[in-house]
Structure 1
């Protein structure tokens, strides 16, 4: 017999208005909740696309730092091995020292050349336009009426674009600073963030998560190392070859070639076009020499440097990378253009890992089916 006190203390087992007694309805409700949750996560990812691409930029920068400290650990003998934090500090100090050297020793020359480059390009573009008009490729329409009024209107209307440009410049500096800070945090304690994300996943998938992140990290480090090797080789070769002929702005063109080499498929034509325009401004022979320099540098980089690096990195189809650059460039601007290549490499590794896991599960299922069907 239960006393009244025991009855009051016992949990209430009566059905509530939100209880679903039908098992089928309850199962379908759970399934619908899962789909609604997935749709909400996708909508949230779209809404937070800009912060997510900045976080991925921090991961890419962290991979560069981690690759540098791993390379330093391999270069040091066993008796002189340093802790991981010290190696990271050395890599960061070396990067800061390089930037300071570039600003102090090469900054004046490059800055002077940079101020001259837009005028030179405008002059060459005007010459090309005049040549095209002379051959009937462009219409010869010059309307001088109301020129002063149009110029005044352009100057007045240029205040808004100038303000937006300054805002975009400060926003770019802020994004760059956030990427650096995030990259340092990720590089100092990568296991902390990896374990934190693994904790959010189901227990049976955590081993696969650790394996995927390991493969992604290794491929990302090698991919970025290859990019840095290509940037250094193209920039130095361009600078030396142009300086040997006495091409104007050789240092600036070498620097731009090295920086734009980080963008596969897109950076090389841009740097080559600038180089050729500067070359023809100094004469036909210099312009032809710049064409030869561009071809030689790209042939050597494309047939020697890139294949050596591509053997140890994620082999990406050029059309796939170019398509990703177009899409992410439209969505996220310059940052998306820069990070398109690493992002495509990470997605490819994740898909390859999932495909290999599916093949392994299929083989296991076939083995189990063969074992259960064998006679005893």
Structure 2
């Protein structure tokens, strides 16, 4: 008679993992959420490189898709696969030309920059002394070391752009898979979401794709305009390395806010090595080219994309560059655009649900 009572009495007691107090239970759930977020963040940091490669594949796939859509406007009778092949062959031809034309020249010219900067600082010191400026508190060696160190970082980054063939190859392969069958991957990802969220994700993915295509189209347009205009204007004046400077200006234009000052610094250094007039002319070229890009191309594209504040983009570049290196620096702008669209769509969904309720 005593045994059943003992069993019943034992089953009535809470286990060590049971929480009867409602307040403690709510706080435990909150703590579990924060621990999950921290664990997810740690996982993202650990898997940073693969994640950035996948995002790079998505971004490059959007670029390829935008190219085939442009071809479709001119030749709508061509099958989608043929248009994608044309875009890929064009991109491959450009990179082959880029490596053939600039690969060896960049390394050779980069070796000349330290001596060039040192000579320019010497000329600056002589000019300042001749105009009565006191140079006693001016530590030339320290400034030279900082400038040369910055130039060294720039050339190292440029070398990394041409040296990361493995990462670029993986991004290229992933982008081909994504662009050939985009619906397959979009449906597969949506399948992992709750059923009531799938339509919302489909609409968000379509809007993200459109924004990425326009953003990258504007980026490529700006790169082309800046590179060609810089090369033509510098070559007209007879500035040394005009073609190389134009190429670097075009490539660095892919990095908004950061690429332009770097290319301008290189341009001005080379310009003043040929005299004061040439240096001032290079400054004028830089101002004109950046004004055209900033006042015409960027506003035109921003109207049809996720209009991003420059300070937001610059902050994201600093954070992503620190966390993920040069790849994070290059992809910061598209990632911020996708995050902004996701937040806007979620806010619109919350407002709609609130009105319905």
| Deviation of the 1:327 alpha carbon | 0.9
| Deviation of the 1:176 alpha carbon | 1.9
Task: Provide, for residues 278-321 of structure 1, a one-character-per-residue CA deviation record: whole Å limited to 9, x for no partner.
Answer: 11110111111111111111111111111111111110001111
Task: Provide, for residues 232-281 of structure 1, a one-character-per-residue CA deviation record: whole Å limited to 9, x for no partner.
Answer: 00100000011111111100110011011111111111111111111111
Of residues 71, 78, 81 in structure 2, which corresponds to 1:81? 78
| Number of positions where the alignment pairs a residue of Structure 1 with one of Structure 2 | 328
Of residues 277, 284, 288 in structure 2, which corresponds to 1:285? 277
| Deviation of the 1:362 alpha carbon | 1.5
What is the distance in 1 between the residues matched to 2:17 and 2:109?
A: 75
- Does residue 207 of the first structure (1) align with residue 207 of the second (2)? no
1:138/1:210 CA distance change after superposition, 3 Å: farther
Q: Return the TM-score normalized by structure 1.
A: 0.76
| Deviation of the 1:172 alpha carbon | 2.8
Residue 225 of structure 1 corresponds to which residue in structure 2? 217
CA contact (8 A) 1:278 1:287 kept: yes
What is the distance in 2 between the residues matched to 1:118 and 1:174?
A: 30
Moved more, 117-126 or 176-185: 117-126
Q: Return the TM-score normalized by structure 2.
A: 0.80
Say which SS state the counterpart of residue 194 (structure 1) adopts. Answer: helix
| Deviation of the 1:40 alpha carbon | 3.7
| Deviation of the 1:354 alpha carbon | 0.7
| Deviation of the 1:171 alpha carbon | 7.6
- Does residue 332 of the first structure (1) align with residue 328 of the second (2)? no
Residue 48 of structure 1 corresponds to which residue in structure 2? 47
| Deviation of the 1:52 alpha carbon | 1.1
Moved more, 194-203 or 127-136: 127-136
CA contact (8 A) 1:133 1:140 kept: no
RMSD of aligned alpha carbons: 3.4
Residue segments in structure 1 that go unaligned for 5+ positions in a row: 1-13, 144-163, 366-376
CA contact (8 A) 2:103 2:162 kept: no
Residue 149 of structure 1 corresponds to which residue in structure 2? none
| Deviation of the 1:173 alpha carbon | 2.7
Say which SS state the counterpart of residue 338 (structure 1) adopts. Answer: helix
What is the distance in 1 between the residues matched to 2:171 and 2:129?
A: 47
What is the distance in 2 between the residues matched to 1:328 and 1:229?
A: 24
- Does residue 193 of the first structure (1) align with residue 185 of the second (2)? yes
Residue 296 of structure 1 corresponds to which residue in structure 2? 288
Residue segments in structure 2 that go unaligned for 5+ positions in a row: 1-10, 142-155
CA contact (8 A) 1:66 1:187 kept: yes
What is the distance in 1 between the residues matched to 2:172 and 2:93?
A: 16
